[in-house]
Amino acid sequence: MNATRKLHDLGQSLWLDNITRGLLTSGTLSRYIREFAVTGLTSNPSIFDQAVKSADFYDAAIGQKALAGKSGEALFFELALEDLTRAADLFRPVHDATGGMDGWVSLEVSPLLADDSAATLKAARELHARAQRANLFIKIPGTRAGLPAIEEAIFAGVPVNVTLLFSREHYLAAAEAYMRGIERRIAAGLDPRVGSVASIFVSRWDVAVKDKVSAGHRNRLGIAIAMRTYKAYRDLLETPRWRNLVASGAHPQRLLWASTGTKDPAAPDVLYVEALAAPDTINTLPEKTLLAFVDHGKVGSALPVDGGDAEAVLAEFAREGVNDEALAAELQREGTAAFAKSWNELMQCIAEKSKVLSEAKQS
């Protein structure tokens, strides 16, 4: 039995953190589903930016859409929805077999809307309606402006992948927004089964402190933050408030480990996959990390539900001068800015390709 199947049997879903048209047309994604127990997929602006820049899979479609008068965000979302609805259809059997708990794909609203709750909600509702897929999440950042949009989107029946969460406190705020949305649906007599996941970014913690802590502390902070958050997640599922929601038919907002590719070349390439094995969670892996884990990954013990030694490790980092609360806020700001930068670069790339390809078709 390969390592990915062992994680699946442990109760953790493995999702691919990548989407390209080549993955779809070559049959590679279908193979990952069949052979590696991959049961979902995520995307973000950086992933699409690289996909469009690095290959010609999108050139014909961009040229055709440009000639039809499409440009900018409108053109991009047509491309993205073509890919993600096709991926959603590949995962639909998993979605149906698990009663909607698994088999999801994700599409992010424009990161330029991160500070605008109303515009984020409007975009989320429009993208959800256009996709017409029961297993497509709309990604909304768990920022101050994003949280009200998340609650309203859930109340409106839009499944949400809450992105750019970096701490236990970020997670709990996202969970609160989700629960409020579900509670409002129940009060209004609506179906409480609206899917959601809460995505905690892990490896960026260790990148941020690499040159600020002693060598013995490197590549330990992200895992400690994840362990602390996992305890909060398991504790929340045991509360009377959540049990009341379950009794009404609601699904749990599953915890998702994001940013699990190892950034430090001196560290094991499957560090965060092996360390974060945990039932009732999701690990979304870059393709390189997935293939490495298939090749030489090992599944050990699951994360302790009581947080294990997370607080002791975080106390060590505090003594090293790391303020995890302040750093979480900084990482969320940086993550928002990085996605906005990728978005702007993606729009520029599409504009340049549109011009060249439409001119070529007209000549």
**Average confidence score pLDDT of the chain:** 95
Taking only the tens place, the pLDDT of each residue in 69-92 is 999 999 999 999 999 999 999 999
Taking only the tens place, the pLDDT of each residue in 303-338 is 999 999 999 999 999 999 999 999 999 999 999 999
Structure tokens at 185: 């649906």
Q: What single-letter amino acid sits at 39? A: T
Residue 13: DSSP 8-state: E
Tokens 């995890």, residue?
324
Cβ density class 270-285: b for 16+ within 10 Å, e for less: bbbbebbbbebbbbbb
> How far is residue 39's CA from residue 336's CA, in Å, rounded to a whole number?
27
**Which CATH number goes with the domain that contains 36?**
3.20.20.70
Largest CA distance in the chain: 68
Tokens 């069949």, residue?
34
Question: How many domains is the chain partitioned into structurally?
Answer: 1
CA dihedral over 232, 237, 238, 242, signed as positive or negative: positive
Q: Tell me, yes or no, if 353 is annotated catalytic.
A: no
Query: Is residue 57 very low, low, confident or very high in pLDDT (cuts 50, 70, 90)?
Result: confident
What residues does 12 pair with on adjacent strands? Answer: 281
Taking only the tens place, the pLDDT of each residue in 104-115 is 999 999 999 999
For residue 161, what are the domain limits? 3-362
Q: What single-letter amino acid sits at 276? A: L
User: What is the structure's pLDDT at 362?
Assistant: 64
Tell me how many helices (H) and strands (E) the chain has.
16, 8
Query: Cβ distance 289 to 261 under 8 Å?
Result: yes
Structure tokens at 54: 């690095």
CA dihedral over 343, 276, 200, 158, signed as positive or negative: positive
Structure tokens at 87: 């991926």
Question: Does 200 score more than 90 pLDDT?
Answer: yes
> How far is residue 348's CA from residue 165's CA, in Å, rounded to a whole number?
28
Structure tokens at 318: 């505090």
- pTM of the entire predicted model: 0.96
**Of residues 139, 341, 353, 361, which has the active-site annotation?**
139
Query: Cβ distance 153 to 125 under 8 Å?
Result: yes
